[in-house]
Amino acid sequence: MQANESWGRRWSEDSLAMARTYMEVACRKQSLVCLAADRSTMAELNQLIDEVGPYLAALKTHVDLVDDWTPEAWSAFCDKASAADLLVFEDRKFADIGGISRKQMSGIYDIRSWADLVTAHLISGPDIVDGLQAGWSDVGREGGVLLLAQMSSRGNLLDPEYTAKVVALGKSHPGVFGFIGNGSRPDDLKLLRQAVGDGKLIWTPGVNLAVGDGEMGQRYGDPREAVLAGSDCIIVGSGIHKSSNPSQQAKAYAKASWDALLERKQK
Ligand code: 5BU
């Protein structure tokens, strides 16, 4: 199925190249799943791509939690992700002023050279998006910024007033790929989608086929409900990588998310 058919208004109203790239990958893979690859060795990370790569559209990393990280091993891992037709998303949650965020895209990890997407808080103001975009431009690459409009963890301080400000500033910014919404609360997500409109994507952590409370204040909602409420990508970590059968689980999340997209399209 063509991306414009599956994604409807989201496809026609979104203009960021990276957003369309994602929508196309999701169609090829028939999956709206981004795996939160929260593993701390390179061997485990590579094994995840081998096991579940076919069922994912993107891979979310926390590069700073890998114990045996080397530039060479990371570069090979990113090549492997690319060969598996996956976008690479570093969930760095940048929060500094624009100029420093630009520099933080380089440094030892050199995130600008391999990440297609990064997360950022908007607490320091909208220049952070320009800083991150400048980081990618510095190495001749393009990428997209996901702004944290909501979070999935209990007690977080991103209240509705703050969310509204992030959406207002982010929705017309050309460097913004989309927003992080709370996958554990479909009602909150519906409100976020109303505020965002169709011109930007919403990606949601806090999703698990086993709905309820997770570790240390994490909360989980159902994948289908999240997509029907307006999520364009479900970010799933332990639901896949801690399962006794990761590939079977990844397949189940892919099916739930893709079926929900097709169901949403009918509405
Ligand atoms: P889990 O194992 O499915 O709970 O993993 C969730 C991942 O999503 C983990 O990598 C977090 O850093 C990430 N996350 C989140 O859980 N909640 C949020 O609000 C944001 C990111 Br933003």
Mean of pLDDT values over 130-136 = 98
What local confidence, expressed as pLDDT, does residue 4 receive? 82
Alpha carbons within 13 A on the beta-carbon side of 147: 31
What local confidence, expressed as pLDDT, does residue 171 receive? 95
Mean of pLDDT values over 134-152 = 98
Mean of pLDDT values over 191-218 = 95
Give me the residue spans of the domains in the chain. Answer: 3-266
What local confidence, expressed as pLDDT, does residue 31 receive? 98
**Residue that is written with structure tokens 């990370």 in the block:** 45
What local confidence, expressed as pLDDT, does residue 13 receive? 87
Burial of 258 (0-12, 13-18, 19+ CB in 10 A): buried
pLDDT at position 5 over 90 = no
Alpha carbons within 13 A on the beta-carbon side of 47: 12
What local confidence, expressed as pLDDT, does residue 154 receive? 95
pLDDT digits (tens, 9 = 90+) for 154-194: 999 999 999 999 999 999 999 999 999 999 999 999 999 99
Q: For residue 242, which atom of ligand 1 is closest to its CA?
A: 2
pTM: 0.97
| Residue 93 is a catalytic residue | yes
| Encoded tokens for 56 | 């994912």
Q: What is the DSSP letter of 93?
A: E
pLDDT digits (tens, 9 = 90+) for 14-51: 778 999 999 999 999 999 999 999 999 999 999 999 99
CATH number of the 3-266 domain: 3.20.20.70
What local confidence, expressed as pLDDT, does residue 3 receive? 84
Mutational pocket test of ligand 1: of 60, 93, 152, the residue with most ligand atoms within 8 Å of the beta carbon? 152
What one-character-per-residue DSSP string does 1-46 give?
Answer: --HHHHHTHHHHH---HHHHHHHHHHHHHT--EEEE---SSHHHHH
Burial of 107 (0-12, 13-18, 19+ CB in 10 A): exposed
Ligand 1 centroid vs 235 CA: distance in angstroms? 7
Q: How far apart are CA 239 and CA 248, in angstroms?
A: 11
What local confidence, expressed as pLDDT, does residue 113 receive? 98
Neighbour count for residue 137 (Cβ, 10 Å): 15
User: What b-and-e string marks burial along 36-64, b requiring 16 or more CB atoms within 10 Å of the CB?
Assistant: bbbbeebeebbebbebbbbbbbbbbbebe
Cβ atoms of 43 and 10 closer than 8 Å: no
Residue % of the chain over a pLDDT of 90? 94
Cα 232 to Cα 41, 44, 94, 174, 228: the distances in Å are 29, 27, 22, 18, 9
Cα 114 to Cα 108, 140, 254: the distances in Å are 12, 11, 25
pLDDT at position 12 over 90 = no
What local confidence, expressed as pLDDT, does residue 253 receive? 98
What local confidence, expressed as pLDDT, does residue 93 receive? 98
pLDDT at position 55 over 90 = yes
Q: For residue 239, which atom of ligand 1 is closest to its CA?
A: 3
What local confidence, expressed as pLDDT, does residue 175 receive? 96
pLDDT digits (tens, 9 = 90+) for 63-98: 999 999 999 999 999 999 999 999 999 999 999 999
Beta strands (DSSP E) in 111-232 are 117-120, 144-148, 176-180, 201-204, 212-213, 219-220
Ligand 1 centroid vs 2 CA: distance in angstroms? 30
Whose C-alpha lies nearest to ligand 1, atom 9? 36
